[in-house]
A and B are shown apart, each in its own frame.
Chain A
């Protein structure tokens, strides 16, 4: 799959980068991580994996104490208000190729993460910092200088930003971080729904990110479990397929063809030919109409809504280009 922790550490050593590594049981949250390495004098980092409305991805790496306001960040990047969201789990696996709870700047060593933007909190420069080296059962401590050495070695120019600054963005003040927005869109593969372990882990993963977004969820906002009665947490929206959101004509036509063929194949048999003889055509035509109309109407409405949404987004995008 992607780089392993061992390969990464070997690479760091090759590059002459000084780091100290600490092994500990797998941790999925900042609190858990702090239990094992919080006392060392290095600063714990929090790492967010975000996406914008155009599916571009960002890793934001900051001190655990730094307040990161996604709304402000979104505006500073020129994405408008509310343009940034948490990236879906599939992207974590496909693009960063790290497990849940393990977002780290080191994941950018993977080819698949080529187009992911990296924003670094300038607070990281002040002291040695703690990051996961591609797996949750270890933390490494290194200085910002050494982190830069690593980033430069993978062809990145490190950009440190004052993440807490409230920078006004308006007609006469262009978004100050707009240059950091990736130019390429990461093409991710269709990943079918994973089994239970990831959904359960999602429950652990979310509280950390949600805390960072400073929501005041009184209930567990991340709790996506349904009263399904059999104890398995389920995602409410079914497949979060990256290719939803695209009005795909071929896919759509294929679905219609498949459904029609299925009915035809089921309904044409020795028995039905005998029974209806020459009328089979009319009978089939009625059956298809009866059985398929509702499904097709749904499919077509979905297609219409998706295409309209794409058009709308495109218009919004073109508006911001003409600022």
Chain B
């Protein structure tokens, strides 16, 4: 299957670096996803999968599946096989709460996970790695906990079902059965291996080096005795961005050695910055992304002034050559967020041939994004501290399946 948790992504020789702590490409280039799939050893999600998901769930597949945003997987076919046989699974995803300001790129995995929860009717655990951010971003413990709670509100606003969802922060939850699994995992991973997988150095503090098991063990149902007691064989599906693959390569390597099922993964590509694929989305540059707190005016301004256009320099040239859809950000964003396949195809044809101008595409994008952000804002406003407490309460979830 091409899995190799021992393989060191030879950073120095590669022109792209993708791991949980760093995503960079050679200047002026885009991420090569085919190369990445090859190197990591995961599988492509081909269109037959999308059809199968539609059949199995009896509902239209999510726009991210149709447009290839979620494009890679490990063992997703086994999850589907098992599901068709009547076996259940649970979902596991998470966020490192490093900032209060969430942008649309942050929401992508959560939007998809919500769809999976609704379509398959399965429970979900969401991990907030406040400890990780405390260590990597050098935040105080209190600040990282506070950010975790704030981020939890935006996550809840994505529409997760409280009767099927458990949100936890590492600082609150690590201990008990969870910690026992952490130790089991840690015993199976040598120092050399984590150095190989994550690129740690002797100068890194021991907090970092011992962190990987924390992100690994939510893949095992026994980490949540209040939810899955007695269901040690329950499978786990992890929707995440592809840079998280190393954590779960390590986890999949360890799982059989400690008597657990390997978690399955379904992975997404990166969400491009407003200024283009080669630009970096950065919390310090507000114009690199659309934030969930942006007003309609902000969105209009950002898209009009900062979205990288694949259109030609002059109208004549544009009519002649059409837009470069490979690099055009407004069109790219529309493929993420405009649900109507026919409309997207229409724009692809018209804009690509030069009949439609960039301004029109941008206008459509502004409308779509404004609606999305407004819907999120309203949902967010309805999330109270009490609701966060409840999502994070260690409580049983009866009826979590079906």
Contacts and interface: CB of A to CB of B under 8 A. Distances in A.
Partners in one complex: yes
A235 B302 CA distance: 20
A228 B162 contact: no
Interface stretch (A17-25, A197-205, A295-303): A295-303
Contacts of A216: 140, 142
A159 interface: no
A219 B146 CA distance: 12
Contact of A295 (B163, B375, B377): B375
Contacts of A302: 159, 379, 382
Interface string B266-286: 000000000000000001111
B27 to A, nearest CB: 25
Contacts of A217: 140, 142-143
Interface in B282-305: 283-287, 291, 293-295, 297-298, 301-302
Interface in A264-323: 294-295, 297-298, 301-302, 304-306, 308-309, 312-313
Interface in A43-60: 53
B8 interface: no
Given A229-B287, A304-B161, A304-B162, A244 B381 contact: yes
Most buried by A among B146, B293, B294, B379: B293
A309 B143 CA distance: 25
A229 B298 contact: yes
Contacts of B377: 238
**A interface majority secondary structure:** loop
Interface residues of A, number: 36
Contacts of B294: 228
Contacts of B62: none
Interface stretch (B32-40, B228-236, B309-317, B383-391): B383-391
27 contacts: A85-B385, A218-B143, A226-B286, A226-B291, A227-B285, A228-B295, A229-B298, A230-B297, A234-B293, A236-B293, A237-B153, A238-B378, A238-B381, A240-B381, A245-B386, A298-B159, A298-B379, A301-B159, A301-B160, A301-B161, A302-B159, A302-B382, A304-B163, A305-B161, A305-B387, A309-B390, A313-B386
Interface of A: 53, 85, 215-219, 221, 224, 226-230, 234, 236-241, 244-245, 294-295, 297-298, 301-302, 304-306, 308-309, 312-313
